[in-house]
Chain A
Amino acid sequence: DAKTTQPPSMDCAEGRAANLPCNHSTISGNEYVYWYRQIHSQGPQYIIHGLKNNETNEMASLIITEDRKSSTLILPHATLRDTAVYYCIVRVGPSYGKLTFGQGTILTVHP
């Protein structure tokens, strides 16, 4: 699996967009980018995934650069409840649960 690099922490004001970057410069053509988050003391929660096109769902948007070497998760209007650890994962499916959760980015949303 391609290695991912994320900043250890980020801050965001409530109501503003939170843009979380992920670098995956060694990604191969058949690897997807997945994002999960983990709110304190809870199990991880799936957010979104993509291959090369930008994706949007009710939770977030995923922007993948044309060369696919990096991506950005966008929470358009961050709330206090979005404070969590965000994990960027690169993986070829199927995985049989073999997701590699690294250290992620601790996002703190401030009032």
Chain B
Amino acid sequence: DAGITQSPRHKVTETGTPVTLRCHQTENHRYMYWYRQDPGHGLRLIHYSYGVKDTDKGEVSDGYSVSRSKTEDFLLTLESATSSQTSVYFCAISESRDPWGYTFGSGTRLTVV
């Protein structure tokens, strides 16, 4: 998607290893979000950020941490990956807190073996 890039696109990692996913935006939007999508659960919010160094937990934050040291980058870290964290991870950005106009990235497919 224009203005938002996720990396890597695909990753396979072993249980117990740390993993960091990156979301990069060129839109200078204040708000950034990390979601995971699993069959039967739809999209679930992991963490979100409302500015540099300002982050908060979403509904499924256990086992995840985030950092935002620059406006354009929002990092999601799995400190010690588990098989239950196998999922597709989406980053999103928005200009405002309103639930419209979100732009989502193309996703990162993470497999923990």
Enumerate B81-97 residues with CB–CB distance to A below 8 Å: 90-92, 94, 96-97
Interface stretch, picked from B14-22, B63-71, B103-111, is: B103-111
Enumerate A89-111 residues with CB–CB distance to B below 8 Å: 89, 91, 93-104
Interface size for chain A: under 10, 10 to 19, 20 to 34, or 35 or more residues? Answer: 20 to 34
> Is A49 interfacial (CB-CB < 8 Å)?
yes
What's the tally of chain B residues with a CB closer than 8 Å to chain A? 28
Closest beta carbon of chain A to B2's beta carbon, Å: 12
Contact B98 A43 (CB under 8 A): no
Contact B102 A44 (CB under 8 A): yes
Contact B42 A93 (CB under 8 A): no
Which of B31, B92, B98 neighbours the largest number of chain A CB atoms within 10 Å of its CB?
B98
When A96-B48, A97-B92, A101-B43 are in contact, do A46 and B103 touch as well, CB less than 8 Å? yes
> Is A42 interfacial (CB-CB < 8 Å)?
yes
When A94-B96, A96-B56, A101-B42 are in contact, do A42 and B102 touch as well, CB less than 8 Å? no
The 6 lowest CB-CB distance pairs between A and B, nearest first, are: A43-B104, A94-B97, A93-B98, A97-B33, A95-B99, A101-B42
